[in-house]
Amino acid sequence: DRFHPTLPHRLVDSRDGTGTTATPWGPGSTRNVTVASTGPVPKSAKAVVLNITVTGGTAASHLTVWPAGVAKPTASSLNWNAGQTVPNLVVVKVGDGGLASIFNNSGNAHVIADVVGWYG
């Protein structure tokens, strides 16, 4: 499948409720977010490239990003210490219903996700 770069497009921002609720991800919480059929990403996309940023974390923690509808992997996608703002590039297969799952391990943290490309 071919890569299609896009201008950055905000899909998720828990600070203002873009694509999710306007609250931080809590400890041990998972949210499913729309990554296909939104912004520049067509329904036919097979995977998306996301710039995931965490900010306002109250504890050292990690995020895991994976396709919705399958078991959560054990590998982390992004790691940080309390109070840091940290970005990371993540490639994730589009899951059930055009969704990706995002899990926060510890503490509370705001999550921002910008799509920067897709495969399909």
Report pLDDT digits (tens) over 30-74.
999 999 999 999 999 999 999 999 999 999 999 999 999 999 999
- Which helix (H) or strand (E) is 37 found in, with range? none
Residue 83 is predicted with a pLDDT of 97
Q: What domains, with CATH codes, occur in the chain? A: 3-119 (2.60.120)
The model's pTM: 0.96
Q: What is the Cα–Cα distance from 68 to 92, expressed in whole angstroms?
A: 10
The residue behind tokens 């897709």 is 118
**pLDDT band at residue 4, thresholds of 50, 70 and 90?**
very high
Q: What is the Cα–Cα distance from 51 to 48, expressed in whole angstroms?
A: 10
